[in-house]
Amino acid sequence: MKILGISAHYHDSAAALLIDGVPVAAVQEERLSRRKNDAGFPLAAIEWCLDHGGLQTADLDAVVFYERSMLKFERILTCALRSFPRSWKSFPHAIKNSLGEKVWVRGIIASYLDVPRNKILFTGHHASHAAAAFLTAPTDRAAILTADGVGEWATLTTGHGERRADRSTAITLEREIRFPHSLGMLYSTFTAYLGFSVNEDEYKVMGLAAYGRPTLAAQVRKLIHRTPDGAFTLAPEYFEYQSSASRSYSQRFVDLFGRPRGPYEPIDFQTEDGQRFADCAASVQHVLEETLVDIARTLHQETGLPDLCFGGGVALNGVANARILAESGFERMFVPSAPGDAGCALGAALYADRIHFKNPDRPVPDHPFWGPAVDAGELARAAKEDGQVVEELDQSALVERIADELAAGRIVGWMDGASEFGPRALGHRSILAAPHSREIRDRLNRDIKYREEFRPFAPVVPVEDVERYFELPRGGTRLARFMSGVFPVRGEWQERLAGVTHVDGSARVQALDPQMAPPLYALLKAYERRSGTSVLLNTSFNVAGEPIVNRALEGYSTFRRCGIDALVAGSTLVTKPAVPPAAARTEGAA
């Protein structure tokens, strides 16, 4: 059976293809269209998935959309009517922004793809998140938690999943919290208040939180009331997102927390305002964590299961994930590589296959590499035409050479095989560097990533070495597989790993399984032979404002535009020609 999953029209559109119950392709539209967080109908992603699977649309048994658009329409209409006439201005905006073409989705899919309407199915938004988390995890029974901004009505669900001995599958979502009460919206409101982009920059709030203290946690708790059953409600007087299209927080919110930060205002921790912004971030982060830990602890007690699968955009918060694992009682925690809405394309396809069509369970390969493969020949051709130094090396010579480059303080663009599905670079589209000094971190921020200096870089380490450098709770290694947890760097390593240690002594580490990305694993070992440390700095291969590179040519163009010293695709190595001594002297003099 051939099933295409689609997520679209809100943010992070994507497509995924399942053949006989196993994923064969999944990619976010932005990687192909080169528009960051592309929310359009993912035609390029669909076309690539079908091509990769050798299929035409007529071969598809079903096309599954990741949420029920009519339910979403009902929510937007109901909310607009409830706050009428305050909402009359924002309603057309809400329809356009949040809903867009969504109510007409069946017709759009049918006409774009030329598939009969009866082959088009819809799953619940949080059912898609739950399926993406549970059906990709190597566990037979697990509790399930999903949390995001909002789907149709639900913003958080709890339940459980089961793969039975007869190979049937069940996903049961038993409880839900509904819009406008939403942990994702609470966090996004602070994201907007702190001058960052909503649905995009939430991780900046998490990075900023490390510079502050939760001195305003009591104020944040005024915004979110805990209910006796373990759930919560938000206090509507502090929010505007139900009735306003332009601002998500109210004047009362500003009265409570002070003047909001402008989007271009620098954050200077030496100033009172700068520290207040960091404290705001630390406080909302703290309240998010304590709320999630309590919900997860209750879920653990109710289900009595050792495993937790966590999906939805909130599961991208690695600091909260680490606390849930350490404090809720679960022994293992599975967060997929794409827990956000893009991952719903795969989740929706898996849900349709296992639950709707009742197909037998199949293990899903435990890696994130479902995107287009890099073409080393494309890189070699472009670089040669452009007068760069191009070398072809066998695998082991290449690894040794790159380890030398990294040990000498050079920065390497690293492309290998199929691209990652999800927002993290997990070893196939990475920028790599030595992890030891703050200088290299500052150079990356300044010359390559062009981004705020308060944002940390992540380390990658062979899975068997992870506890040597980092303090992980029980089950932490699994959470670190797809870089989903933030953990303390051991005290004795913090100075030697200064390039990847955040200001609070933590790091979002990837524990690399040798099977997952063998060339990167070999590189870590080769680097250890030179430096005594099997850790590298690993950051996504992109510059600020651009999606992660997909094709070799995009990697090459990035390499040419910024301070990356060497570029690898497969067995091809490109380095910039050495600067002639005369030019270097002129530069030095200037």
User: By the criterion CB under 5 A, which residues form the site for Fe ion?
Assistant: 148, 341
Closer of 347 and 476 to Fe ion (Cβ)? 347
Q: How far is the CB of 553 from Fe ion (least distance, A)?
A: 32
C-alpha Rg value of the chain to the nearest Å: 24
Continuous segment of H or E residues that includes residue 77 = helix 69-82
Q: Which is nearer to Fe ion, 127 or 564 (CB)?
A: 127
Residue of 337, 380, 549, 536 whose CA lies nearest to 448: 549
Cα of 99 vs its chain's centroid, Å: 23
Query: Smallest distance from the beta carbon of 241 to Fe ion, in angstroms?
Result: 15
Distance of closest approach, residue 39 Cβ to Fe ion, in angstroms: 13
Q: How far is the CB of 193 from Fe ion (least distance, A)?
A: 21
CB of residue 506 vs Fe ion: minimum separation in angstroms?
Answer: 26
Q: Which residue is nearest to Fe ion (CB)?
A: 148
Determine phi and psi for 455, rounding to 5 degrees.
Answer: -90, 130
- The closest of 423, 379, 395, 400 to 564, measured between CA atoms, is 379
Neighbours of 244 (CB within 10 A): 18
Could you tell me which of 368, 518, 501 has the C-alpha nearest to residue 435? 501
The counts of H helices and E strands in the chain are: 21, 24
The Cα 17–Cα 26 span in angstroms is 6
Residue 90 to residue 88: CA distance in whole angstroms:
6
Q: How far apart are CA 412 and CA 432, in angstroms?
A: 5
CB of 182 to Fe ion, least distance (A): 10
Quote the least distance from Cβ 482 to Fe ion, whole Å. Answer: 18
Cis peptide before 180 (omega within 30 of 0): yes
- For residue 133, the minimal CB distance to Fe ion (Å) is 12
Q: How far is the CB of 173 from Fe ion (least distance, A)?
A: 14
Minimum distance, C-beta of residue 345 to Fe ion, in the bound complex (Å) = 12
User: Closest CB to Fe ion among 341 and 353?
Assistant: 341
**Nearest distance from residue 312's CB to Fe ion, in Å?**
5
Other CB atoms within a 10 A radius of the CB of residue 225 amount to 12
Residue 585: CB minimum distance to Fe ion, A:
56
Closer to Fe ion at the Cβ: 37 or 388? 37
CB nearer to Fe ion: give 109 or 314: 314
Residue placing its CB nearer to Fe ion in the complex, 314 or 535 = 314
The nearer residue to Fe ion, 341 or 416, going by C-beta atoms, is 341
Angle separating helix axes 183-193 and 272-303, nearest 10 degrees: 170
For the beta carbon of residue 587, count every other beta carbon within 10 angstroms. Answer: 9
Report in angstroms how near the CB of residue 313 gets to Fe ion at its nearest: 6
H or E element: which one contains 272?
helix 272-303
Q: Closer CB to Fe ion, residue 12 or residue 420?
A: 12
Strand, helix or coil for residue 327: helix
* Cis ω before 365 (30° cut-off from 0): no
* CB of 87 closer than 8 Å to CB of 27: no
Contacts of residue 174, Cβ cutoff 8 Å, sequence gap at least 6: 158, 159, 160
C-alpha–C-alpha distance, residues 416 and 428, integer Å: 5
Q: Which C-beta is closer to Fe ion: that of 155 or that of 534? A: 155
* Identity of the residue, 173 or 216, whose beta carbon is nearer to Fe ion in the bound complex: 173
Residue-wise burial string across 527-556, b where 16 or more C-beta atoms lie within 10 A, e elsewhere: bbeebebbbbbbbbbbbeebbbbbbbbbbb
Q: Which residue has the tokens 């992870």?
A: 466
What is the residue-wise DSSP string for 507-566? E--EEE-TTT-HHHHHHHHHHHHHHS---EEEEES--TTSPPP-SHHHHHHHHHHSS--E
Looking at the Cβ atoms of 199 and 539, the one nearer to Fe ion is 199
Of 339 and 427, the one with the shorter C-beta distance to Fe ion is: 339
CA distance to 264, 408, 543, 565, per residue, from 448 (Å):
20, 18, 6, 11
Token duo for residue 496: 């030697």
Closest CB 5 distance from Fe ion, rounded Å:
14
